[in-house]
């Protein structure tokens, strides 16, 4: 019966939808990460200060504030996706991201317009935060609903492939500018604007691709539901256990993810004392391997279940975070740095590869995008968005090792959730929807 239910979408249409949804996700996250990747070059333009750590701290503060808009985006776009469609919500979110990138590219420096410069930078990040906050829940829902039931882990893992891919493109552009096109002085003076112009252009391309996407059957089959049952917080609160599960399983994972990806480039420069070029190269190679691991782990979850992978991340993350970061902070070798980071990213893959499908499997279709997006965005805003700021604060206070323990404690809280939760592969609400629709 489930096979008959999904047969109206051909394999070609399904693959096109997965690619289209993923490419849009890639562009959104490229725009988001370009800020983090190029902060080492533009922080002085908005926050003049002789202390590099202080400049990065101010820039990280605006990065964290951008996360405050993500819960708003999760609520707004999640509601739109549940009420009028996943496709429309994804199209709107990528349009908003292009405005944020263009604003950063065009904002004058502090020397030109004074305090208005960081204010405009903040406004741009708030727009991008709103957009990317909505993107996660909607694209996670879309990819999970478009996948066949026996390949959901594999297909939905491409959300993090493209999420990491966005960061890879940002770092790749940085490497090209560093190695081939511009001097460090040129990058600091005006070259850092280039990636934001590219981001605005890519967003327009993604907008075109998303406009031709196929809507999911899970949404189409629930079109006739009473409006007040679709995409409302009131309806979402009828699923308190699922909400708390999303928060708990995200807490440690998002902190670890942002530490080893977004913050790691600055850690290598500021703590390990590698050059900016070495830091960018290590980040690029490690993230490329990390992206390739996502479908492998996602496909594995289709065979053995989601819970074993989450438990693996929780246990190894709790035991290994302090030793890994301590060893990394004391290394003097560029390639030993890569090895330590890669070990950490392999551990984190147990969370990143399947967290989208796990969350989608917790909620019925009428509140799925909202249920995935809102509690996730709240948790990421509190823990993921502040990771870089907290790390730099401990660094400035000469207590950097406390940050390692902070990550460990957060992962251990998530581990408790992993031990207590059921395997969503066996209790998936996506399967329940298919059965109900087929019966109807």
pLDDT at 7 over 60: no
What are the pLDDT digits (tens) for 197-251? 998 888 888 877 777 777 777 777 766 655 566 778 888 888 899 999 999 999 9
What are the pLDDT digits (tens) for 255-274? 999 899 878 888 888 888 88
Name the DSSP class of 181.
I
Rounded Cα–Cα distance for residues 262 and 277 (Å): 16
Percent of the chain with pLDDT over 70: 89
* Max intra-chain CA distance, the chain: 68
* 162 Rama class: left (phi>0) / alpha (psi -120 to 50) / beta: alpha
What pLDDT does residue 6 have?
43
Rounded Cα–Cα distance for residues 370 and 77 (Å): 8
- Give the Cβ contact number of residue 364 at 10 Å: 21
Tokens of 283: 């980040």
Rounded Cα–Cα distance for residues 294 and 239 (Å): 29
Which residue, among 1, 127, 8, has the nearest Cα to 72 in the 3D structure?
127
Answer whether 0.85 is exceeded by the pTM. Answer: no
What pLDDT does residue 35 have?
79
Tokens of 68: 């405050």
pLDDT at 17 over 80: no
Domain boundaries 14-439, CATH class:
mainly alpha
Rounded Cα–Cα distance for residues 149 and 220 (Å): 17
Which residue, among 157, 147, 108, 100, has the nearest Cα to 2 in the 3D structure?
147
Query: 57 or 189, which is more confident?
Result: 189
Indicate the pLDDT class of residue 425, thresholds 50, 70 and 90. confident
Whole-number mean pLDDT of the chain? 83
As a whole number, mean pLDDT of residues 382-400 equals: 85
What are the pLDDT digits (tens) for 324-338? 999 998 888 888 999
Q: If residue 305 lies in a helix (H) or strand (E), which one and from where to where?
A: none
What pLDDT does residue 397 have?
85
What pLDDT does residue 320 have?
94
Which residue, among 223, 196, 9, 209, has the nearest Cα to 91 in the 3D structure?
209
Q: In the structure, how many helices (H) and strands (E) does the chain have?
A: 23, 0
Query: 84 or 48, which is more confident?
Result: 84
Which residue, among 70, 104, 86, has the nearest Cα to 203 in the 3D structure?
104
Q: Where are the domains of the chain?
A: 14-439
Indicate the pLDDT class of residue 419, thresholds 50, 70 and 90. very high
**CA angle, residues 41, 45, 51, in degrees to nearest 5:** 75
């Amino acid at each position: 019966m489930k096979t008959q239910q999904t047969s109206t979408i051909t394999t070609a249409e399904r693959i096109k939808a997965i690619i289209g949804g993923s490419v849009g996700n890639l562009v959104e996250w490229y725009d988001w990460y370009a800020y983090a990747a190029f902060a080492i070059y533009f922080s002085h333009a908005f926050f003049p200060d002789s202390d590099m750590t202080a400049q990065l701290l101010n820039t990280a503060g605006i990065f964290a504030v951008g996360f405050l808009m993500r819960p708003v985006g999760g609520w707004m776009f999640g509601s739109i996706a549940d009420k009028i469609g996943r496709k429309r919500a994804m199209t709107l979110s990528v349009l908003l991201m292009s405005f944020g990138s263009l604003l950063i590219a065009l904002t004058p420096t502090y020397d030109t317009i004074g305090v208005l410069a960081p204010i405009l930078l903040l406004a741009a990040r708030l727009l991008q935060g709103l957009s990317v906050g909505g993107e996660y829940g909607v694209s996670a829902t879309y990819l999970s609903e478009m996948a066949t039931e026996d390949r959901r882990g594999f297909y939905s893992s491409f959300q993090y492939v493209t999420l990491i891919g966005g960061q890879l493109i940002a770092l790749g552009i940085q490497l090209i500018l560093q190695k081939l096109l511009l001097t460090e002085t040129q990058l600091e003076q005006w070259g850092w604007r280039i990636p934001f112009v590219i981001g605005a252009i890519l967003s327009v391309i993604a907008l075109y691709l998303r406009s031709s996407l196929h809507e999911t059957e899970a949404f189409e089959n629930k079109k006739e539901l009473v409006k007040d049952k679709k995409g409302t917080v009131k309806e979402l609160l009828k699923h308190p256990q699922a909400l708390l599960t999303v928060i708990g399983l995200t807490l440690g994972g998002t902190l670890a993810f942002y530490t080893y990806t977004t913050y790691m480039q600055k850690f290598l420069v500021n703590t390990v004392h590698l050059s900016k070029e070495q830091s960018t190269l290590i980040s690029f190679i490690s993230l490329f391997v990390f992206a390739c691991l996502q479908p492998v782990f996602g496909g594995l979850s289709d065979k053995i279940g989601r819970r074993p992978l989450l438990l693996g991340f929780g246990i190894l993350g709790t035991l290994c975070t302090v030793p890994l970061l301590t060893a990394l902070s004391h290394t003097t070798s560029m390639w030993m740095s890569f090895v330590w980071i890669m070990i950490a990213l392999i551990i984190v893959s147990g969370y990143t590869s399947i967290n989208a499908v796990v969350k989608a499997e917790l909620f019925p279709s009428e509140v799925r995008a909202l249920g995935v997006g809102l509690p996730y965005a709240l948790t990421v805003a509190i823990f993921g968005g502040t990771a870089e700021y907290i790390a730099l604060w401990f660094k400035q206070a000469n207590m950097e090792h406390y940050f390692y323990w902070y990550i460990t404690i957060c992962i251990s809280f998530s581990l408790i959730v992993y031990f207590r939760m059921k395997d969503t592969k066996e209790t998936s609400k996506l399967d329940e929807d298919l059965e109900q629709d087929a019966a109807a």
